[in-house]
């Protein structure tokens, strides 16, 4: 039986009129629904420390693994010389310090443009903002005399088989990763930074991302519907895998880390036509729970030695290729901090959606590239198209009020 939209709405109105629900009961129901929607989710910190040995926004302290909104913005440095570039980095530091703490923008008077966009209202709130700044290999050309100080393992991003690189979305002298609890916080921060550094930094590309909350619990999901980042290292293990401790690096780089950003288009229309059995075999996990195919819960450890032929978890499944869990590959692990994106519509009419894969490590070749090499021609390549991003070195932290981004590099 077909039910028209008008008849449906009329019936709903009649049902509501005949139901003895007071406004107070309705309000209580809304309140309970809101509580249920956030039940089990990690508590979000109102602010994160700006000063420290390492930058915030890499390993987020507290129970929340990462904020819900993000922007990855790559810049070309257009400063005329090293002195101007250093001044731009001091300005960037000052703006990041203010934005991550929050406060009242100064009143410049009626005859001047306002000092703040007011996207967040008259008061700037911290809202969990982190500003994480990195440098690309192109910064170390002949413009600023920095070639001898380039991080030892920093190169342009490698193109792998199955990649479809688009130069409009690749590389950059500088990368600023902005993360916050809400999209307007991230947008406000980027507006502020680009305004204050105009003439020295020019946007090359940017992409906004969002984090899916746990549904119903555990790790958030990517746009293919699978939990993303289940096996991410945490705590002391994560610390041991990412920070530069010397080992052939210039002294100024101590406390930094290598960041890979990889923009991956997901062909969701085609993916949605694939059987659930085939989808799960490609990932090696159950879609509903995130459990490995030989386990019962998301964080169960797959037992590959008990399945040498891949009869349960296929040998070419994503989780098995990415992390074979052997002694030889243990130091290849990296720390992921990825987000989903939505750019609207592709020229062919498909949804322009996908994944902002980003990770941190001590050595891009030993960690990211070793893993990515194993993933060449995995079954998932029919449904994903990496098209942009870059390799960057996330700078050491800003130690105190007198310190600034890249001071050791530019002083």
> What does the alpha-carbon distance between residue 125 and residue 51 come to, in Å, rounded to a whole number?
18
Please give the model's pTM, rounded to 2 decimal places.
Answer: 0.89
CA distance 188 to 159: 33
pLDDT of residue 63: 57
Q: In CATH, what number does 69-410 get?
A: 3.30.70.3420
The domains of the chain are located at: 69-410
The pLDDT of residue 43 is 61
pLDDT digits (tens, 9 = 90+) for 220-269: 999 999 999 999 999 999 999 999 987 899 999 999 999 999 999 999 99
- pLDDT tens for 161-174 read 999 999 999 999 99
pLDDT confidence band for 42 (50 / 70 / 90) = low
What pLDDT does 62 receive? 62
Q: How far apart are CA 284 and CA 291, in angstroms?
A: 9
- Mean pLDDT lowest for which of 4-8, 93-97, 105-109, 224-228? 4-8
Query: Rounded distance, CA 170 to CA 165, Å?
Result: 8
Could you give the percent of the chain with pLDDT greater than 90?
Answer: 85
Give me the phi and psi of 106, to 5 degrees please: -70, 150
Q: At what angle do helices 183-196 and 82-101 cross, to 10 degrees?
A: 150
Nearest to 68 by CA among 37, 48, 44: 44
């Amino acid at each position: 039986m077909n039910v028209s939209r008008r008849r449906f709405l009329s019936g709903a109105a009649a049902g509501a009129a005949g139901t003895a629900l007071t406004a107070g009961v309705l309000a209580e129901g809304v309140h309970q629904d809101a509580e249920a929607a956030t039940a089990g989710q990690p508590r979000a910190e109102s602010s994160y420390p700006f000063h420290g040995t390492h930058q915030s926004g890499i390993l987020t302290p507290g129970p929340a693994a990462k904020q819900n909104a993000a922007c990855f913005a790559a810049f070309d440095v257009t400063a005329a010389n090293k002195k101007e570039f250093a001044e731009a980095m001091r300005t960037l530091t000052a703006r990041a310090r203010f934005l991550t703490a929050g406060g009242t923008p100064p009143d410049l008077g009626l005859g001047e443009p306002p000092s703040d966009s007011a996207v967040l209202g008259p008061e700037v709130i911290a809202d969990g903002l982190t500003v994480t700044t990195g440098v690309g290999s192109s910064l170390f050309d002949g413009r600023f005399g920095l070639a001898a100080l380039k991080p030892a393992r920093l190169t342009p991003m490698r193109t792998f088989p199955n990649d479809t690189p688009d130069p409009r979305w690749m590389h950059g002298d500088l990368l600023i990763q902005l993360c916050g609890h809400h999209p307007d916080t991230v947008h406000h921060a980027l507006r502020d930074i680009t305004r204050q550094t105009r003439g020295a930094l020019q946007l090359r590309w940017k992409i906004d991302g969002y984090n899916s909350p746990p549904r119903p619990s555990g790790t958030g999901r990517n746009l293919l519907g699978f939990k993303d980042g289940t096996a991410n290292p945490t705590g002391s293990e994560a610390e041991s895998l990412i920070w530069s401790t010397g080992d052939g690096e210039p002294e100024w780089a101590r406390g930094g880390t290598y960041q890979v950003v990889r923009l991956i288009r997901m062909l969701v229309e085609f993916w949605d036509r694939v059987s659930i059995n085939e989808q799960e075999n490609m990932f090696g996990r159950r879609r509903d729970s995130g459990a490995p195919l030989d386990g019962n819960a998301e964080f169960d450890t797959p037992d590959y030695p008990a399945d040498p032929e891949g009869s349960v978890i296929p040998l070419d499944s994503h989780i098995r290729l990415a992390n074979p869990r052997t002694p030889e590959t243990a130091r290849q692990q990296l720390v992921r901090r990825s987000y989903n994106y939505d750019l609207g519509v592709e020229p062919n009419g498909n949804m322009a959606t996908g994944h902002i894969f980003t990770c941190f490590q001590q050595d891009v070749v030993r960690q990211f590239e070793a893993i990515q090499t194993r993933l060449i021609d995995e079954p998932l390549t029919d449904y994903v198209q990496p098209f942009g991003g870059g390799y960057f070195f996330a700078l050491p932290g800003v130690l105190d009020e007198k310190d600034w981004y890249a001071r050791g590099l530019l002083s």
